[in-house]
Structure 1
Amino acid sequence: MRKVLAFVAVWGLAFALSPEEVWKALEAHAKVTGYVAQARQGPVVYQVAFRRPWVRIDWLEGPEYLKGSALVSDGQRAWSKGPKGPWQEGKATAPEDPLQLLFSEPQAVAREYVLREVQEEGGLWRFLLAKRVPPKDERQPAAWRITLNPKGHLPFRYEVLSPSGKVLSQVEYLKLDLTPPPQSLFEVKP
């Protein structure tokens, strides 16, 4: 019986998900030329459209001060507008989210984050992307616990964690289309 259990344990380890497989998948994810996704974060539903190097975020549901807002960026400049009012131009800021950083600077993800707690469960991958140097402030993100379907389909969700592991926010993707959106979606009209 012990030999059977030992064989099963070794067999399970042989087919376990490795950090290298996850890094390769993240690198492939970084090469995507575009997508459109809808996600829910608490009461807020937003849509993210990406077409390298452009990104557009539209807030579809949520509090009145946020619903109808939008942000468009080409990586250098950013245009934003509230629910009422014109577009305003400013300088783009670098993303802090490693999933967004993958598209603009994939090498920075490998340099600034470490992969932990890699596991496969029911065909889904779960892992933690943690900052190599976590912030001291408990209100700042230190890690992202990610659950994804490696085939590029839903479900896809993540939790943003504080340095002590407290969940700061949760995001669940509702729709995901890997077809690059038209360039006209990123046009800003005053």
Structure 2
Amino acid sequence: MPDRELRHMRRTELVEIILALKQSEDRLRAENAALSAQLQERQIHIENAGSIAQAALELNKVFEAAQAAADEYVASVLAANKNTDAAASALRAQAEAEAQQILAQAQTEAANLKARTQQQCDAETEAAARKRAQTEADCKAMLARTQQEIQQRRAAFDRRASELLDGYHSTEFLPEERAK
């Protein structure tokens, strides 16, 4: 508005225009502050974009290190599995050898026990045979003594019977018996 028009206006109109201008100025200042804030935010985003790219590179390095560590871990697990398999095979072979040794030892002990038992049986059989032979010899000796005793008793009986018969025959002619 030109200066002339302003001069012809009333005070209330001028106050209204001043107030409108003041509001417009406040609004523009607020808009300016908002735009400055947006500009500031965009600059932060741009700076962060550089930082994000750098962070991505750093994350890639971290991921590469993590992948290398994981690969190393997998390799060590595989090596440990191979070592475990080898150790298990060695233990299995050792256990089988020990089992064979125990079996051989048990068979040897069984054979020794069988031989000792056979020796004991043979010794007891021999002792029983000796005892039987001794018992048979004792029985024959007893039988011989018994037969000898029987013969002696029979001979004694025969002598006595002969004596009695002789005595009876000699008593036949006794006077007392004749009288009867």
The TM-score with structure 2 as length reference comes to 0.18
Which is higher, the Rg of structure 1 or of structure 2? 2
Structure with a larger share of its residues in helix: 2
Which of the pair has the greater relative contact order for Cα pairs under 8 Å at 6+ separation? 1
TM-score, normalized by length of structure 1? Answer: 0.17
Higher strand share: 1
